Amino acid sequence: MIPVKGFSGHKVAVLGLGRSGLATARALRAGGAEPVCWDDNPAAREKAEAEGFMCQDLRRQGAFDAIAALIVSPGIPHLYPEPNPVVAAALQAGVPVDNDIGLFFRSLGGAEWDKFDVPPRVVAVTGSNGKSTTAALIHHILTQSGREAQLAGNIGRGVLDIDPGGDGSVVVLELSSYQTELARALTPDVAVFTNLSPDHLDRHGGMGGYFAAKRRLFSEGGPDRAVIGVDEIEGAFLAGQLAEGPGDDRVIRVSVARKLAGPGWQVFARKGFLSEYRKGRQAASIDLRGIKGLPGTHNHQNACSAYAACRALGLAPKMIEDALHSYPGLPHRSQIIAEANGVTFVNDSKATNVDSAVKALGAFKKIRWICGGLEKEGGIAALNDATDEVLCAYVIGREAAGFAMQLSVEARVCTTMAEAVEQAMRDAAPGEIVLLAPAAASFDQYDNFEQRGDDFVAQVQKRL
């Protein structure tokens, strides 16, 4: 646990008592603060009270009297699509609003670091797609290379729930826009921006607000090194804002769309080969094509970002290459779950938006595609430019018929995962791929994308 600093002897309100909320309350108490907790869910309040925390309705008049700060869980909107009443009350009372990420950065260091030869460092990864894989890949490379590392944030453990770092250790954080938009402190040593595509637009008031939330990790944090995916205009703009000139190697530009040139530091992938260039000369090259845990161009982008972050931490190219080959992949992200009778089954339930589904479709040939769910803002028309390898789509979800009508390939309305898997398996021939890449949210039928992916795995396994 990372005890929270700066609030000893003060009352601090905690809104939302899920995983991060409870971890925050514990860390506040460990730092000498008095947490005052609230969640609209009675079961969540009961769980907190069982640990000895005081629960008090933060919606009542005068709730923020004598409160030093309000800490908000990331899943709770604070401004858009409409102001949260508790957050609005705190702001009206002049009470600062923060989240667990902000508390983590303000509490991480201490006098004990003076005895370390190499102080602990933080790598923070954000972006629309690939941030989970990139963060997990960085963590894997570090641990395979013998470095002490912890994985936390939007993946793994809550940030305040991790252990204090040791000499030369690294904390790898995956940070969503929900987490970066509100944190009052953001000071990573290395910050990574994977890419940007439309997502969570209602939460951020549009694309500009969404990009602004991501950008805060760099503009507020001032990392020593920034790894920036430049294949979208927003990434190119961000890299341009951070660099003092073309040769500024504090910015490492990453691409899978083109060869990068110039006097700076670049990492890019073309035709399955990762290349690192510094000062106009090639420094390393890695063949990514045979790495099973990283199929497709989108995973090559993740590999480039992870490689660049690890190089910024001082790891040698050969050490990184060896670790890439042993990376097993993450559940629900281009995860090969079975191979039977020449057919490969891939679970990419994390492809919850059009852009991530397009990337998944581009990673394979001869696809039996299971898709559908709760459509996100912007529609699904862009999918039709990526379906050259799709033999047939098997559409799930409550609005499966409407989803299927928008596709330019043969599509069958299956509604349920069981029926989609049944039909896809019956149709599949040797050499083909049965791919779950929904291009939609899961909430019409499942609690989350993990539950949807688990259902796909279960339906496949029961038929093999």
Return residue ranges of the chain for CATH 3.90.190.20.
335-458
Could you tell me the strand order of the sheet in which 335-340 lies?
A: 335-340, 343-347, 433-436, 367-371, 390-396, 411-415
For the record, the structure tokens of 281 come out as 């000369």
pLDDT on residue 402: 95
pLDDT on residue 317: 97
pLDDT on residue 197: 86
Res. 369 pLDDT band, cuts 50 70 90? very high
Q: Look up the CATH number of domain 335-458.
A: 3.90.190.20
Cis amide leading into 164 (omega within 30):
no
Residue 130 is assigned to a ligand binding site: yes
Res. 109 pLDDT band, cuts 50 70 90? confident
Whole-prediction pTM value?
0.86
Res. 19 pLDDT band, cuts 50 70 90? confident
Residue 133 is assigned to a ligand binding site: yes
Q: Does 157 have pLDDT greater than 90? A: no
CATH superfamily, with its number, for domain 105-325: Mur-like, catalytic domain (3.40.1190.10)
pLDDT on residue 126: 97
Residue 131 is assigned to a ligand binding site: yes
Give the Å distances, CA to CA, from 303 to 73, 159, 228.
30, 24, 13
3: three-class secondary structure by DSSP: coil
Q: Compute the mean pLDDT over every residue in the chain, rounded to the nearest whole number.
A: 94
Q: Does 392 have pLDDT greater than 90? A: yes
Return residue ranges of the chain for CATH 3.40.50.720.
11-98
Residue 194 is assigned to a ligand binding site: no
Return residue ranges of the chain for CATH 3.40.1190.10.
105-325
Least confident of 33-42, 74-83, 452-461: 74-83
Average pLDDT over residues 265-277: 97
Average pLDDT over residues 162-167: 91
Res. 221 pLDDT band, cuts 50 70 90? confident
Interatomic CA distance for residues 87 and 402, integer angstroms: 38
Is the separation of the CB atoms in 39 and 67 below 8 Å? no
Residue 255 is assigned to a ligand binding site: no
Q: Does 427 have pLDDT greater than 90? A: yes
pLDDT on residue 198: 78
Strand blocks (E) in 207-334? 225-229, 251-255, 265-270, 273-278, 281-287
pLDDT on residue 113: 86
Residue 349 is assigned to a ligand binding site: no
Q: Does 414 have pLDDT greater than 90? A: yes
Interatomic CA distance for residues 43 and 49, integer angstroms: 10
Which CATH architecture does the domain made up of 11-98 adopt?
3-Layer(aba) Sandwich (3.40)
Count of other CB atoms within 10 angstroms of residue 236: 15
Q: Give the residue among 363, 351, 260, 357 at the shortest CA–CA distance from 308.
A: 260
Count CA atoms closer than 13 A to 449's CA, side-chain side: 19
Res. 125 pLDDT band, cuts 50 70 90? very high
Q: Give the residue among 212, 182, 228, 151 at the shortest CA–CA distance from 84.
A: 182
Is the separation of the CB atoms in 136 and 116 below 8 Å? no
Interatomic CA distance for residues 452 and 438, integer angstroms: 10
Interatomic CA distance for residues 238 and 317, integer angstroms: 26
pLDDT on residue 236: 97
Report percent pLDDT > 90 for the chain.
83
Q: Does 200 have pLDDT greater than 80? A: no
Q: Does 378 have pLDDT greater than 80? A: no
pLDDT on residue 114: 85
Res. 292 pLDDT band, cuts 50 70 90? confident
301: three-class secondary structure by DSSP: helix
